[in-house]
Amino acid sequence: MARVFVYGTLKRGQPNYSRMLDAANGKAKLLASACTAQKHPLVIAGMYNVPFLLNVPGQGHRVKGEIYKVDEKMLKFLDEFESVPTMYQRTEVKLEVEEWVGEEEKEKMAPGSITEAFVYSTTSYEADWLSLRRYESYDSKGDHGLEYHVREARD
């Protein structure tokens, strides 16, 4: 089992969250809410208004998201879903736990604890993305006014 940090459309309440619940994709279990230990630029970009975590540590905000424990099947699904390695790259990131919700006592971490997980960030971005508004947390219905286009509705 691996840990994955999600910060965008795969979080609870977001357009692609159902993919985390779909047993056909593998197993995923929510462990905690967390934020990146370092600042990173989280931007909304491209013609479909996709959230991207730019792999530029030290810029932007400490990004909020969720840590999941996933099996190998889900990890492979997520790699494909995130178009690894062309659109996103799967790397490790240090995270600060905000609230632990996982059920297994042996894994439990106190708020403020530091852990690591895989994250889908990108080094494959347009130069002007570094000048876009940066977010601490992504919400597809947020006040940014940028409508996310689900894959099924794209041309």
* Encoded tokens for 139: 């919400």
The DSSP 8-state label assigned to residue 34 in this structure reads E
Query: For residue 25, which phi and psi values (nearest 5 degrees)?
Result: -85, -15
Catalytic: which of 82, 107, 136, 147? 82
Contact by Cβ (8 Å): 20, 10: yes
Q: How many Å apart are CA 75 and CA 134, to the nearest integer?
A: 27
The CA distance from 51 to 49, in Å, is 7
The answer to whether the beta carbons of residues 132 and 56 sit under 8 Å apart is no
**Cβ–Cβ < 8 Å for 62, 102:** no
With tokens 């979080």, the residue in question is: 11
Active site residue 92: no
Active site members:
82
